[in-house]
Each structure stands twice: as C-alpha cells, then as structure tokens.
Amino acid sequence: MSTNKVQRLHVGKRLSEVAIHNGTIYLAGQLAEDTSQNIEGQTRETLGHIDRLLAESGSDKDHILSCQIYLADVKDFAGMNLEWDKWVSADNSPPRATVEAKLARADILIEIVIVAAQK
C-alpha cells in the first residue's frame, strides 16, 4: 500500500467519519445521537462513538494525539469533565482544547474532534 493512500471509513455524501493517512487517524466531529440527554449523557455517548471509531481504525484512546472539544455553553465544562475524567487514561491524557461554540443545532451540547495514531 502506498504511503500516500488515504483510507476513509463510514463515507457519506457530505463527510467521512474517519480518514487514515500514514498511520494517523482523523475523526470527524463526534456528537451524541440522543440529544435529549444532559451534558454528562451526551459526553458519555460521544466518547463511546470515539472508542468505536478508534477501534475500527486500529487505535484506542491511549493513542490520541490531540483533542478539540466544543461546548454549546461553557457552563457545561464541569459536567463534561466529570465524564472525560472517568474515560481518559490518566497516564496518556492527550493535549486538549475546550471552547464554547455555536453548534449545528440547539439540542447538541458537545462535539469532539480527535486525531490519533494507529497502534
């Protein structure tokens, strides 16, 4: 396989959920499907999607290179961190930025973008 080849997973008309190039995995912004949940529930579900996509891509949360978290309201920072702290590997916590942003719909409380290395 050529090192310039890009592999894409879950390809749709508008976007792919994953792109892999030279051992680096790029995830599209992940969010909860059940947006009736509070910030803790949406964070848990979103992190579950990340776990699944990283596993499909030959990686896991210990190989995350960077993380960008977008919150619809920064008041949810503490609730998001409660779930993040349960999920993240304490010895392998990635570089991370968390910002408040206007998300695509009012019921979306969090969106997470991940870049990771393959194992």
d(CA 100, CA 119): 32
The string of pLDDT tens digits covering residues 66-93 is 999 999 999 999 999 999 999 999 899 9
SS (H, E, C) the chain: CCCCCEEEEEECCCCEEEEEECCEEEECCECCCCCCCCHHHHHHHHHHHHHHHHHHCCCCHHHEEEEEEEECCHHHHHHHHHHHHHHCCHHHCCCEEEEECCCCCCCCCEEEEEEEECC
- Please, are residues 109 and 76 in contact by the beta-carbon 8 Å criterion? yes
List domains and CATH numbers for the chain: 6-117 (3.30.1330.40)
Express as a percent the part of the chain with pLDDT over 70. Answer: 97
pLDDT reported for residue 51: 98
Using 50, 70 and 90 to split pLDDT, how confident is the model at 3? low
